[in-house]
Amino acid sequence: MTTPAVGQDATVRTVAEYIDGPECKLLVTRFRSPIQTDSRRTVLCLPPFAEEMNKSRRMLALQGRALARRGVSFVLPDVRGTGDSEGEFGEATWEAWRQDISSIVDWLRIEGGIRQIDVLALRSGVFLGGDFLKTTGIGPKRLALWSPVHSGRVMIDSLFRTMLIRGTGGVGVNNVAEVRERIAAYGSLEVAGYWLSEELVRSVDALDISDMQLASGCQVLWADASPATVDRVPRKTEKVLRSWASGNVSAEYTRFVGPQFWMGPEIELIPDLLEKTTAFFLD
């Protein structure tokens, strides 16, 4: 194993190391404090999809540092084919990524002696948790969701739409249905710099947050971030939270008026969201 790279400020150590995933090496970055309040506990980040992750790295790193400064370690993984992990994005499927996360959970438990893993999921990251999210014991007692994606299909249609508006869909591609037809015909398509295989698109299409089950007793923070200034919980979110409540999952809905930092040309931040999330995990 390569020597881990260590960065250091006054209180936080950032350690990046490669671990053995199910099929290739995965880069895991950990933010730790020398003064751990509980070394058996950590917060695992479930990252967003494709370019959203690149745009969000700074926000997530700041969250990691904020938690580590308060004695709670934070784990930021690159699933296969993303970031600095091995593997090809074009060969990934959602299930493969779930298995990567699963192997990281095992590694934390076995190598890291971790007994309890809380979760911060950004956007579609929530779907990377799989069965782990409803696992009691080592599974999350606290789950923070930042602007979770309701539907994988809607998320990926939005990506296709961007491509169409940019005029990069190719000749004869006029709408989302035709983009999908093209992917089916060719087996894959490059969208905004990422090779989307037909299998990956199919696995993303199947993602729906209303199918998600969490462990009884889990506490959820659902934090939507956007420039919209609504003062009510969106109906479809209300439905999900009600369904979770019937499974003894308590949820707090909150929203932050600010940039959708996982998109857009510039790296943007929402400091209040960091503060709220830190307080949530420390509670």
Residues that bind other proteins (CB under 8 A): 154, 157-158, 161-162, 165-167, 175-177, 224, 226-230, 232, 234-235, 260, 263-265
Q: How far is the CB of 157 from other proteins (least distance, A)?
A: 8
Alpha carbon separation from 131 to 102, 126, 229 (Å, rounded): 9, 11, 34
Identify which of 100, 102, 154, 92 has the alpha carbon closest to the alpha carbon of residue 123: 154
- What is the Cα 37 distance to its own chain's centre? 25
Q: How far is the CB of 97 from other proteins (least distance, A)?
A: 24
Q: How far is the CB of 229 from other proteins (least distance, A)?
A: 7
Identify which of 53, 116, 70 has the alpha carbon closest to the alpha carbon of residue 280: 70
Neighbours of 197 (CB within 10 A): 19
Radius of gyration of the chain from its Cα atoms, rounded to whole angstroms: 19
Q: Which CB, 85 or 124, lies closer to other proteins?
A: 124
Q: Which CB, 41 or 161, lies closer to other proteins?
A: 161
Q: How far is the CB of 230 from other proteins (least distance, A)?
A: 6
Q: Which CB, 35 or 154, lies closer to other proteins?
A: 154
DSSP conformation letters of 42-98: EEEEE--STHHHHHHHHHHHHHHHHHHHTT-EEEEE--TTSTTSSS-GGG--HHHHH
Q: Which CB, 30 or 150, lies closer to other proteins?
A: 150
Q: How far is the CB of 176 from other proteins (least distance, A)?
A: 5
How far is the C-alpha of 124 from the C-alpha of 219, rounded, in Å?
Answer: 19
Q: Which CB, 170 or 264, lies closer to other proteins?
A: 264
Q: Which CB, 54 or 93, lies closer to other proteins?
A: 54
CA angle, residues 186, 191, 197, in degrees to nearest 5 = 45
Q: How far is the CB of 16 from other proteins (least distance, A)?
A: 30
